[in-house]
Structure 1
Amino acid sequence: MIEIILPPTVVAVDTTDDPADAGLHPEEEEVVRKAVDKRRREFTTGRTCARRALGLLGLPPAPIPQGARGEPVWPEGVVGSITHCAGYRGAVLGRTSNVAAIGIDAEPNERLPDGVLDAVTSEGERRAIIEALRSHPGVHWDRMLFCAKETVYKVWFPLAGRWLGFEDAEVTINPLTGAFEARLLVEGPSVNGGALTRLTGRWLVKNGLILTAIVLPAG
């Protein structure tokens, strides 16, 4: 499903259930050794999607351990992103020769819990969300904004190696074109010969889900 909003330079595998035959490598097993069943199933299916995506790149299956911030650690020459929520798990991968970074996120198309919107948005972003809810009420734009900011962080962290707060990126969503843009409010890493200041992505609402994706080209 997420491939609808992706460029041809990457590959995607996603699913709406947890395959009974999905398994983990020992390095991955250690991550969820003490996890509750829900977390274990999400993690296992996400890694299974990622390994299938490696196959689409023509690469052998490999363990995908977890880094210090919970980020996937990819095989050499590969970048990617994994996401999961209720009813959805997905992975998007690309080769470093084509792609500098990838971020994806999935959320239910539902209103954010009370208090979350104020915690993750600026006053200007909230005004835009109110207007979008008024003009296009079929989408929970507050959740969309949260999803987009999670996607921005997933692109940022592998490149910068440091935290990016919700308040450190201002996101503008276009309800008509299926696109969004993030303006970084802190100094970004050097990418493709210049400082990273903006990211552009795409969004999709389908089957009760909100999906967002950013694919930053290399070179």
Structure 2
Amino acid sequence: MTTTPLPLPTCCTALSSDWPFPFPAEGARLVSMRFDPARLDHGDFGRCGIAPPRGVSKRQTEYLAGRLCAHEALRLTWGNGVMVKPNEDRSPAWPAGCVGSITHGGGWAGAVVAQASHWRGLGLDVERQLDVGRADRLMEEILTPAERQGYSTLSDTERALKVTLTFSLKESLFKALYPLVRTRFYFEHAELVHFSRDGSARLRLLTDLTPEWTRGAELDGQFVCFEDYLLSLVSIRAA
């Protein structure tokens, strides 16, 4: 455990602990950074105490940046930081009494953590906003039949936002729920039933995952757009 920030590799920018979302999540801490795979030094893994993953430099830099964000978020929350290792299923193995989520993409990485006494699950996802052509091509893979209603009447900007947002929120939903249900589910197993320009959203399960998490269960999410990114969060409050 470390009580001081780790030195950052040259492939990573300074860490930010700003809360970007429109609504607070009590006790949750989000840390983010930018990263550049072209500047990766493979010796950074050893210096940071992180086992490098397999893959190309892009994948390795994403992993490094995400773990450094998680380390700092844990340090800011508990006064000490630990390096989050992967479980056998490759999900992050958070310390006892902690919940969290890591995301990375398009040169941006972030991690959100909180005490399990406040939240049962947290799911964080960042996506580069889709252009309308790609959104239209991906629409049938991501949107359920109910979510597709009225899609063709939307403007180009609205269609691109809807597909990007639905994709991201379903990713966040999976990250928040998977540690609780230990059952994989996919885009067709949940639907976005509401979202607003104020950044609020609501999702509904379309399948039974456990006796507690069944078809029809609804969860709240939120999102924010910045630059050409969309960041989403699904939070499951502790009882």
Is the TM-score greater than 0.5?
A: yes
Contact 2:123 2:174 in 1 (8 A): yes
Give me the whole-angstrom Cα distance separating, in 2, the residues matched to 1:108 and 1:209: 4
Q: Is 1:53 the equivalent of 2:53?
A: no
Question: In 1, Cα distance between the equivalents of 2:165 and 2:182?
Answer: 25
Q: Which of residues 206, 212, 215 is equivalent to 1:185?
A: 206
- The 3 A distance-change label for structure 1 pair 39 and 124 is same
Equivalent position SS for 2:67: helix
Identity among equivalent positions (%) equals 25
Partner-residue secondary structure (3-state), 2:20:
helix
Partner of 2:119: 99
Tell me the TM-score normalized by structure 1.
Answer: 0.85
After the TM superposition, which residues 1-219 of structure 1 pair with which residues of structure 2 at under 5 Å, given as runs? 3-5=20-22, 6-17=24-35, 23=45, 28-29=50-51, 32=53, 34-111=54-131, 112=134, 115-130=137-152, 133-134=154-155, 137=158, 140-189=161-210, 195=213, 197-219=217-239
Aligned mates of 2:152, 2:83 — CA distance in 1: 43
The alignment's C-alpha RMSD in Å is 2.6
Asked if 1 retains the 8 angstrom alpha-carbon contact of 2:135 and 2:159, the reply is no
Indicate the SS of the match to 2:86. Answer: coil
* TM-score when normalising by structure 2: 0.78
Aligned length: 212
Query: Which residue identity does 1:199 align to in structure 2?
Result: L
CA distance in 2, matches of 1:173, 1:129: 14
**Greater RCO (Cα-Cα under 8 Å, separation 6 or more):** 1
Shift of 1:126: 1.7
The structure having more radius of gyration, on CA atoms, is: 2
Q: Contact 1:169/1:185 (CA < 8 Å) preserved in 2?
A: yes
How far is 1:145 from its partner? Answer: 0.8
Alignment CA distance shift 1:134-1:23 (3 Å): same
Deviations 1:24-51 (A, max 9, x none): 665x415x0x321000000000000000
Q: For 2:40 and 2:146, locate their aligned partners in 1 and report how far apart those are by CA, in whole Å.
A: 46
2:146 counterpart letter in structure 1? G
**Equivalent-residue separation in structure 2 for 1:8 and 1:138 (angstroms):** 32
State the match for 2:15 in structure 1: none
- Letter paired with 2:100: G
Q: Select between 147-156 and 15-24 the one with higher mean Cα deviation.
A: 15-24
The residue matched to 1:41 in structure 2 has which SS? helix
Gaps of 5+ in 1: none
1:14–1:89 contact (8 Å) kept in structure 2: yes
Structure 1 residue 114, shift from structure 2 partner: 5.8
Deviation per CA, 1:153-208: give whole Å up to 9, x if none.
11111010011121111112423331111111122446xxx546111100111111
Q: Is contact 1:129-1:142 (8 Å) kept?
A: no
